[in-house]
Structure formats: structure tokens, C-alpha cells
């Protein structure tokens, strides 16, 4: 009885510790973002007043609204391009048995391990040649390197799990493979495509190295670059209140989205790794 009580207490403590560890840094960013002046330097863990001046300042002192728009545009374009390329390919990889299928899947897994820095100089040359330096479209194209292998790997795994009878019936009826993908598999795949798209969106939204290297003006920056380059008036001490306000502004929607779709995201994250 006594031992069980201790054991239960210890487990409760463990759960609380994990919860605190996972949530506290974000909580602290929110609390700090709502403090200005001397209050910002307080390490009191409980907020006493709410001050939105940091949020106003972030949008007033730099084109942060535009940066958010840029990020949405780049990530959205990247997701659409990735899905358009990946869905037909994943039908082939997941549903058709052909020689070269397995080596291809491994090749895609290999590409997902590519360090981005290894293509940076080659990519720089392409971007310049296409006149896409400091242009958002250039970023979307680069991001395909990050999102394509991810999208293909996850979608193929999902595609393989669909029942075989559906397409056999359609094929007997004489439907072409493209029509099959478009009219029959796509609606069935909608939830999986949503999850994959969300994973690709998050990857594109968070990307830093390409965005830092291939944009120059503050009007074309994406959110991660804008936040990384926020600097103070004196250049000596960072305006931490602004940095925290910017961080919370772009992270809160992401966290809400992830919490809403958590089951699908977890399925998407683990499906590729488990099924190898």
C-alpha cells in the first residue's frame, strides 16, 4: 500500500517534470513578450500585467507583417509544388510493382539526409543564373530539396496502406492510371495528403540557411531570417521584448495547428521511419 503510494507519487512527479520541461520555454517566451521596460528583466515566473507594446513595436520597427506574408507565400508554394510532383510519383512507388522501386525509395531517403550546405554553392549559381536572387520563387524552388524526399517517403507509406480492391475495380472498368489517381485515390488520400502537406509546410516555414543566403533586403526576408536578424537601436543589446513578441506571433498559430492535427502529424512523422 505504502510502496504503491510512493510509486504513484514518483510517477506523478516524472509526468510533471516532463510537462514542465516541454512547455516552460514557450511559456516563458509568452510571459516575457508581454513585459516591457524594467518589468522585462524580472524573473518572476507569474505574470502580473499584460503589455502589448512589444507586439506593436515588432510590426512598426520592421516589415514584420510583410515577412509573415513572405513566409506564407513561400511555404504555400513549396507545399503545392511538392504535392503536385509527389502524388503521381507516390502512386507509382506505392501501388505499382516495378523493377527499381526499392532502390529509388532508398535514393529518396538518401537525399533527405543531404546536408543543405553541400548544395549551397551550386544552388547559388542556379539562383543567380535564373535571376531569382532575392526573390521568393527562388526560395520555393530550393525548398523542394527539403520537402520532396519527406513528402515522397511519407505519402508512399500511406499509399501502400490503401486497400487494393478499389483500384482493381477501376482498372477493370478501363480507367487510366492518372484518372485513377485523380478521381479515386486522391479523395481517399485526402487526410494523408493534409498531414504530409502540413509536415512540408512546417519544414518550409522553418527553413533558415537558404533563406538567409538567397535574400538580401528586409522586405524579402522570411520569418526565421527576420527574427534572427532583429537588432537593437544601439546594436549592443538585443531588444529581447521584441524578439520574444515576434517569436510568439509566428509560433502560436503553428502550435495550435500542431495540437489540432497531432494524431495525423505523429502518424506522418513515424510512418516513414517505422516501415523501412
Partner 1 sequence: MVRPARPDHLAQRRARTAWLLLLPLLTALAGVALWPLARTFWFSFTDATLFDLAGARFVGLGNFALLLADPEWWRSVWNTLVFTAMSVALEVGLGFAIALTLHAQFPGRGPLRAAVLIPWAIPTVVSAKMWGWMFHDVYGVVNAMLLDIGILSAPLAWTASPHLAMAALIAVDVWKTTPFVALLLLAGLQMLPKDYYDAAQVDGASTWTQFFAITVPLMKPALAVAVIFRALDAMRIFDLVYVLTGSNRETMTMAVYARQQLIDFQDFGAGSAASTLLFLVIAMVTAIYLTAVRLRLSERSALAG
Residues within window 91-110 making contact with partner 1, judged by CB under 8 A: 91-93, 96-99, 101, 104, 106, 108-110
Q: Is 236 in the site for partner 1 (CB under 8 A)?
A: no
Query: Least distance (Å) from partner 1 to the CB of residue 146?
Result: 9
Residue 111 has which C-alpha cell?
537525399
Query: Least distance (Å) from partner 1 to the CB of residue 1?
Result: 18
Q: Is 15 in the site for partner 1 (CB under 8 A)?
A: yes
Helix boundaries (H) for the chain: 2-33, 53-61, 64-95, 101-112, 117-129, 136-160, 165-172, 177-179, 186-206, 209-214, 223-228, 240-260, 262-274
Q: Is 206 in the site for partner 1 (CB under 8 A)?
A: yes
CA nearest 151: which of 23, 238, 269? 269
4 phi and psi angles, rounded to 5 deg? -65, -40
Residue among 7 and 56 whose Cβ is closer to partner 1: 7
Query: How is residue 218 annotated by DSSP?
Result: T
Pick the piece of the chain touching partner 1 (CB under 8 A) from 57-65, 161-169, 186-194, 203-211. 203-211
Do the beta carbons of residue 50 and residue 198 sit within 8 Å? no
Do the beta carbons of residue 127 and residue 214 sit within 8 Å? yes
Residue in 18, 166, 169, 190 binding partner 1, rule: CB under 8 A: 18
Residue in 88, 131, 191, 232 binding partner 1, rule: CB under 8 A: 88
Q: Is 46 in the site for partner 1 (CB under 8 A)?
A: no
Residue in 123, 185, 189, 245 binding partner 1, rule: CB under 8 A: 123
Amino acid at each position: 500500500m505504502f510502496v504503491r503510494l510512493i510509486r504513484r507519487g514518483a510517477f506523478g512527479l516524472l509526468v510533471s517534470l516532463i510537462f514542465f520541461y516541454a512547455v516552460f520555454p514557450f511559456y516563458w517566451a509568452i510571459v516575457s513578450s508581454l513585459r516591457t521596460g524594467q518589468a522585462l528583466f524580472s524573473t518572476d515566473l507569474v505574470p502580473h500585467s499584460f503589455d502589448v507594446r512589444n507586439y506593436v513595436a515588432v510590426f512598426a520597427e520592421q516589415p514584420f507583417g510583410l515577412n509573415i506574408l513572405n513566409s506564407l507565400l513561400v511555404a504555400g508554394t513549396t507545399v503545392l509544388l511538392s504535392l503536385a510532383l509527389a502524388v503521381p510519383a507516390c502512386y507509382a512507388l506505392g501501388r505499382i510493382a516495378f523493377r527499381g522501386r526499392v532502390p529509388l525509395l532508398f535514393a529518396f531517403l538518401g537525399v533527405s539526409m543531404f546536408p543543405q550546405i553541400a548544395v549551397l554553392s551550386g544552388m547559388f549559381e542556379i539562383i543567380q543564373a535564373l535571376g531569382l536572387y532575392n526573390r521568393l520563387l527562388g526560395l520555393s524552388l530550393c525548398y523542394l530539396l527539403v520537402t520532396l524526399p519527406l513528402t515522397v517517403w511519407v505519402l508512399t507509406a500511406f499509399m501502400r496502406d490503401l486497400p487494393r480492391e478499389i483500384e482493381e475495380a477501376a482498372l477493370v472498368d478501363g480507367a487510366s492510371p492518372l484518372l485513377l489517381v485523380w478521381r479515386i485515390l486522391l479523395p481517399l488520400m485526402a487526410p494523408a495528403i493534409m498531414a504530409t502537406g502540413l509536415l512540408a509546410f512546417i519544414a518550409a516555414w522553418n527553413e533558415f540557411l537558404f533563406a538567409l543566403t538567397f535574400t538580401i533586403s528586409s522586405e524579402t526576408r522570411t520569418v526565421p531570417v527576420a527574427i534572427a536578424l532583429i537588432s537593437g537601436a544601439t546594436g549592443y543589446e538585443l531588444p529581447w521584448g521584441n524578439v520574444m513578441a515576434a517569436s510568439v506571433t509566428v509560433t502560436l498559430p503553428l502550435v495550435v495547428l500542431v495540437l489540432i492535427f497531432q494524431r495525423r502529424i505523429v502518424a506522418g512523422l513515424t510512418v516513414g521511419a517505422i516501415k523501412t
